[in-house]
Chains A and B, each alone.
Chain A
Amino acid sequence: MNMGLLALDENLPSSIALRYASQLVEILALQLQAGHVEVPDKKRHSGGTGWVRRTWERGLLEAGHQAVQRLLNTEKVPCPFIGSPKVLIGDRDNAFLEELRNGGYDLFIEGNLNTSDITDFYRLISSPLYSKTPCPILVVKNLVASDSVALLCGDGVDHNTVIPRALSLLKGKSIHFDLIFYRYQETEATISINKEEAGSVLVEAEALLKEANITPANSMVVSGTPEGVAAMLKKYRLVASSFPVRKSPRLELLAQCPSPILLCQNKARN
C-alpha cells in the first residue's frame, strides 16, 4: 500500500485535489494523510521562547486545523484519511519537504489551477518543493474521471525509470495505460504518426509494461503543438511524466495539459 500526502488549504485548488484524491483511493492501493502548512505572518512572528512561543505555536496549529476542517466540512467528500490532518508551521515548501522525507511518503498530491501563462507552471516546478522532492508529485488541475492514464515518453523522459515508478503508484483495478511519445510540431494539426518515429523508445516502454503484465491500450507517436496535444490529453485521468528540468515543448505540454499530471524523478534523488 502506497502512502500519499495530500496538501490542503482553504481554497479552490485544494477543493479539487481533495475530490480527485477521494476518487483515487477507491481505485488505487493508496492511503492518504492530509497535510497543511500554516505560514506565520512575519509581523506577528513570536520571537519569544518558552511559554510565549509555545502559546504562539499552539495558536497557529489550532488555526491550521480549523482551516482544514472548514474545507472538509464544506466539501463533504468521503475521503478516508489514515489519521487527523498534520498541521506544520513554517515555510510551505520546506515544511512539506521535511514531512515527505521524514514520513517516507510515496506520493505528494496538491491542487494547482491551469493558467494561460506557462511561466506559472515553470515557477511551480522550479520551486524548492518540486526540485528537491524525494517522491513523485501529483498536480491536480481539474477533476477528471476516466479509466485511462497516459504515460509520456521521449523528449527527456527516462522511461526506464519513470514507467516503473508510475506503475508502482498507479497499478490498480480497471486502469488502462496509453503510451504516448510526443513529437513537437509548430503548425501541424494534432495527429498520430508512425510509431517508428519514436525509435526504440515505445518498444522498450511496451516491454516495461509487459514485465508488469500490462498491455497498453494504445502505444503511439503524437505530433502537434503543445496546446493541441494538451487538449487531446484531457481524456486521461492523469498524465505521467518526469519532472521537466528546462523550458521545452514537453514543459509547455505539461503546463497546458488540463488533466492532472504525475511527475516522477528521472533518477533517484537523495
Chain B
Amino acid sequence: MRIITALDMHSYSATIVGEVAKLAANTWADITLLAVQPAGPDNKPDEALVKTLHQYRQDFISLFDANDLPYGGNADNQEFILKNGSWELTDHKPAVASRKNLLLKIRVGDPAKEILAEAREQESDLIVLGCTKGLDSQWKGEVDLPQKVAKKAACSVVVIKEKKVPTTITCCLDQTHVSQSSLEMINQIVTLYQAELKIVGLTDNKGTEGNAGVENSIAQILKYYAERQINAWIKLVRPEDLEEYVAEVSRENMVALWMGKKSLLGKIFSPNLVGKLVNHSQSSVLILR
C-alpha cells in the first residue's frame, strides 16, 4: 500500500501526521510526506519547509515503538537531494534494508496539480490531507485545494477535518460493485478512529424484488466486517434522497463515498458534488476509488 500525505506548514497538517502514523502502523504502507513549494529563482528547497518536514518525520517516527519501526528512522540532519525536478530525502537503513519506505519530498509548482501528479507517478492507493475546521474545508493560501484533489485524484482520498475526531463513519457503498480494497480501506479508517460503522445501501427502485439484490450484497459486506469484529449499522436510502442524506450526516459523521468507475454513486455524485461535499462537510470525508 502506498500513502501520500500532502502537507503544508499549518496546524491542520501537523495534526494529521499522528493519524497517518497509526494508519501506517496498521497497514505497513510505504509513506510519502509531501510538500509543495512555488517555483523560485534559486532552485533550492524552502528552508522553512525542509525544517517542517523534518519535524513531521520525527513526529511520525516517534509514534512507533522503536522495535516495531518498519521505516529507517535515521534521516536526522540529512539533506534533501534533487531528483527529477523534486527534492527528496529517503529515510531508510541501507545496512539492514528497511522494510518499508518513508519518503520526504518537496515538489515545485501548483500544490493541487503537484499532489495529483505525485499520486499518479507513484500509483498511490491513498492521498491523506488535512483541512481547516469549521464550515469551510480549505488549505490556507490555496483556494479549494482539498476539493480539487478529492475531485480529480484517480486514487482514494481522505480529507481530515482539523480537531474533529469522527465517532461514526457513514459509508455509502454501491453494493453491486464495491471492491475489496475499498472495504479494507474502510476497515482501516474505522480501526484508526475506533469509530462506529454505518453502511448506507441504495434501494432499488424496482421495489422489493430489486431490494433483495441490495440486501444480499449488504449481507456480504456485513459478513466481511463481522469477521473483523466490526458491528455495522445498516440504513437503506433511495437514490434520489442520497445527496440530501449525505449532506445531513456530514455535519456530524465522517462520510465515505465509493466513487469507483463502475459505481452508481459516481453517477449520482458528479465530481462537482464531491467537491461541494468536501468543501462544506463539517467532518472528515473519505472518497474511495
Contact = CB atoms under 8 A, between A and B. Distances in A.
Interface residues of A, number: 17
A114 B215 contact: no
B234 A114 contact: yes
Given A12-B215, A12-B219, A13-B215, A113 B234 contact: yes
Interface in B228-242: 231, 233-238, 241
A11 B238 CA distance: 19
A117 B238 CA distance: 8
Contacts of B131: none
A116 B237 contact: yes
A196 B238 CA distance: 40
A64 interface: no
Interface in B202-229: 203, 212, 215-216, 218-219, 222
A257 to B, nearest CB: 11
A217 B108 CA distance: 61
B216 A12 contact: yes
A15 interface: yes
B231 A143 contact: yes
A192 interface: no
A234 interface: yes
B212 A114 contact: no
Interface string A1-35: 00000000001110110000000000000000000
Contacts of B248: 227
Given A11-B215, A12-B218, A12-B219, A234 B233 contact: yes
B237 A115 contact: yes
Interface string A65-87: 00000000000000000000000
Q: Which of A13, A15, A113, A142 has the most CB of B within 10 A?
A: A113
A129 to B, nearest CB: 15
A116 B215 contact: no
Contacts of A258: 233, 235
A117 B215 contact: no
A233 to B, nearest CB: 12
Interface in B49-96: none
B64 to A, nearest CB: 34
Nearest to B220: A12
A113 B212 contact: no
Given A11-B215, A12-B215, A12-B219, A116 B241 contact: yes
A58 B231 CA distance: 39
Interface string B9-44: 000000000000000000000000000000000000
A261 B90 CA distance: 56
Contact of A115 (B216, B218, B231, B236): B236
B235 A116 contact: yes
A234 B231 CA distance: 13
B236 A116 contact: yes
Interface in B158-186: none
Nearest to B235: A114
Contacts of A13: 215
Interface in A223-257: 227, 234
Contact of B235 (A12, A115, A143): A115
A15 to B, nearest CB: 6
Contacts of B215: 11-13, 113
Contact of B203 (A16, A115, A142, A143): A115
Interface in B118-165: none
A93 B225 CA distance: 33
A219 B238 CA distance: 36
Contacts of B235: 113-116, 258
B245 A116 contact: yes
Contacts of A114: 233-236
B219 A113 contact: no
Given A12-B219, A142-B233, A116 B238 contact: yes
The 5 closest A-B pairs by CB, nearest first: A12-B215, A116-B237, A115-B236, A12-B219, A116-B241
Interface of B: 203, 212, 215-216, 218-219, 222, 231, 233-238, 241, 245, 248
28 contacts: A11-B212, A11-B219, A12-B215, A12-B219, A12-B234, A13-B215, A16-B234, A113-B215, A113-B235, A114-B234, A114-B235, A115-B203, A115-B235, A115-B237, A115-B238, A116-B235, A116-B237, A116-B238, A116-B241, A116-B245, A117-B238, A117-B241, A141-B234, A142-B233, A142-B234, A145-B231, A227-B248, A258-B233
